[in-house]
Structure 1
Amino acid sequence: MARTYKILHRRWRVKRPLYWGMLPELLGTIAVLVLFGVQQPDLFRTVFWKVGAELGYNSSPVILLYAYANHRPLPTIPFVWSQTLTNFNVAISIVSLFVLLGKLIMVIMKVYFPILGLVLSMSLSALYAVSIYGQMGPDFLDPEHPSSIAWYIRESCSVAERFKVGKHCAMAKGTFAVTIFMLALYLFNLSLAVWAMWPNPELDIPQDDDDDDHVHSKEEVEMQPTTPRAPNGMPFTPRTLAFNTLERKLPLRQQYT
């Protein structure tokens, strides 16, 4: 039988990790929804920026006031301290929830094919990678205090105890850890999808409708009642009995004639 590569209606190599993987995905999605939600609009982003400047780890938000006071163009705020990052994180947490619900429905309806898993897992992996980059991300706004990694990720939270932001620092570290967990989970789902999409002789055998018709016809033949036969192997029907009666040859006597 000829083998053709199927892009759309492919089967998963393994299904159990796919099904059970939705449980940690649900827990992680709930966690990022809560953690990203409480940080909006600005729970500790600007505070961390100021604390980092006081500690000499990064630039200072005072540079914005300086630009306003001197009527100069506003500098580009580093992504790690921007409102854009906060809104982005909230958006991807909501998207993750809708994707999980949609995937659950598609799995129940048996239409969640590897090509869909490939697209969804790749997209969400990219989104969470951007979120990780933003949370730990560089601040080179002040040449005298460059920062390649945000201080609340790089340093211990004890360095900010005197600023009374230790709990917020721990929450930021926890948010960063959950984001990494979500990225790892989507990369795992992506690997399952890539594995299923990889050419495989067993999965590339076409399943034509003719094969199904052949199976159904075979089942119909098996369900039909069998015709009784006489001892000599001849079919035994009411018409046969009538003719044999006329000829005075009953079916049971034919074996002795």
Structure 2
Amino acid sequence: MAPSTQTPFALILAEMVVAITAVILFCLEYPVDFRSRLWENGGELGYNSNPNKRIYYYANHLEPPEVPFIWSQSLAASNLAIAMLGLVVFVARTIMSRLRCLPHHINIIYDMILFSLWAIGLAGQTSSDLSDPKHPSPHPWYLTRGCSVSWDRTRGYCHTAQAGFAISIMAGILYGTRLIREIVLVAYASGQRHQSKGLVLNTDDIESSESFYSDGEWESLEQKTSRNSLVLSPVLAFFPSDSESRW
């Protein structure tokens, strides 16, 4: 069975705070009018394209530009889905960790997936709005200019969007740190196993060496005994009967 350990309580607490906060913030951002109001605010101030001008395309029977991803409902849905997945994974592996049935390689898979998803989410939250050539926006205005320039009625939306971006950064750092930690633990455990195997092999070599030298000493002892008998044999030849009676 693959080795498993309990996750430190501090890491569990940090992941719980990040997972729950992310779900709450992206639930607040999910309504359709959330991003449209931020889009309108930036458009009226000249920071990005203006959604109110899209009516002229319809009036002239023209196809309007595609809604930029930064203001689309797809971004809100994807962010909420990532946050929900993070919360589900947190609950699942917390239970598995308490039961000591959470192998390191499962943790690595979870952290790789969540780290990648949050990185994609951050890329979406900082994406551009280039649909209006006169007012290009490389990044959303509420991240580059702050909420002090926003309207009063959209200031709460602005702060919520900033908080969602901040919690996404924290989630990326958290799962990246967890991923590095799990890889280090797996590498350390692998090194310990190789070291223990090396010690077993060294012990076997020592035992075989000891048996080899013992056999050699025994052979040298037999050789010395045979040599002594050869030296004494001419002397005993003069007294055969006495030697036999004595021995």
Same fold (TM over 0.5): yes
Take 1:105 and 1:82, find their aligned partners in 2: how far apart are those partners? 36
CA deviation profile, 1:44-63 (whole Å, cap 9, x unmatched): 21111111111111112135
1:132 match: 122
Q: Percent identity?
A: 32
Deviation at 1:92, TM superposition (A): 1.2
Determine if the alignment matches structure 1 residue 167 to structure 2 residue 144.
no
Indicate the residue corresponding to 1:27 in structure 2. Answer: 17
Gaps of 5+ in 1: 1-7, 208-257
Q: Map of 1:115-126 to 2, 5 A cutoff?
A: 115-126=105-116
State the alpha-carbon separation in 1 of the partners of residues 102 and 13 from structure 2: 17
CA distance in 2, matches of 1:98, 1:127: 14
- Per the alignment, residue 83 of structure 2 pairs with 93
Looking at structure 2, the residues matched to 107 and 151 of structure 1 have their Cα atoms a distance apart, in angstroms, of 42
The aligned amino acid for 1:66 is Y
Give the superposition deviation at 1:80. 0.7
**Which amino acid is the alignment partner of residue 192 of structure 1?**
R
TM-score, length-scaled by structure 2: 0.71
Q: What code does the residue aligned with 1:109 have?
A: L
What residue number does 1:211 align with?
none
1:177 has 2:166 as partner: yes
Distance 2:40 2:52 in 1: 8
Superposed CA RMSD in Å reads 2.3
How far residue 129 of structure 1 moved from its aligned partner, in angstroms, is 1.4
Q: How far 1:16 moved relative to its partner?
A: 5.6
C-alpha separation in 2, matches of 1:137 and 1:175: 15
1:108-119 alignment, distance < 5 Å? 108-119=98-109
Q: Which has the larger radius of gyration?
A: 2
- 2:5 corresponds to 1:9: no
Query: Is the contact between residue 112 and residue 179 of structure 2 (CA under 8 Å) also seen in structure 1?
Result: yes
The whole-number CA distance in structure 2 between the counterparts of 1:139 and 1:145 is 9
**1:156, distance to aligned residue in structure 2 (A):** 2.1
**Counterparts of residues 90-239 of structure 1 (less than 5 Å):** 90-161=80-151, 163-198=152-187, 200-204=190-194
Give the match's secondary structure for 1:89: helix
Which residue matches 2:39? Answer: 49
Unaligned segments of structure 2, at least 5 residues: 198-247
1:1-27 superposed Cα distances (whole Å, 9 cap, x missing partner): xxxxxxx82456xx664x421111111
Alignment partners' CA distance in 1, 2:46 and 2:163: 24
- Contact kept, 8 Å, 2:7 with 2:97, in 1: the verdict is no
> Paired residues, what number?
196
Tell me the residue number matched to 2:227: none
User: 1:227 aligns to what?
Assistant: none
Contact 1:10–1:196 (Cα < 8 Å) also in 2: no
Instruction: Find the aligned partners of 1:101 and 1:45 in 2 and give their Cα distance.
Output: 30
- Residues in 2 aligned to 1:94 and 1:198: alpha-carbon distance in whole angstroms: 31
| Bigger fraction of residues in helix | 2
Task: Tell me which amino acid in the other structure corresponds to 2:2.
Answer: H
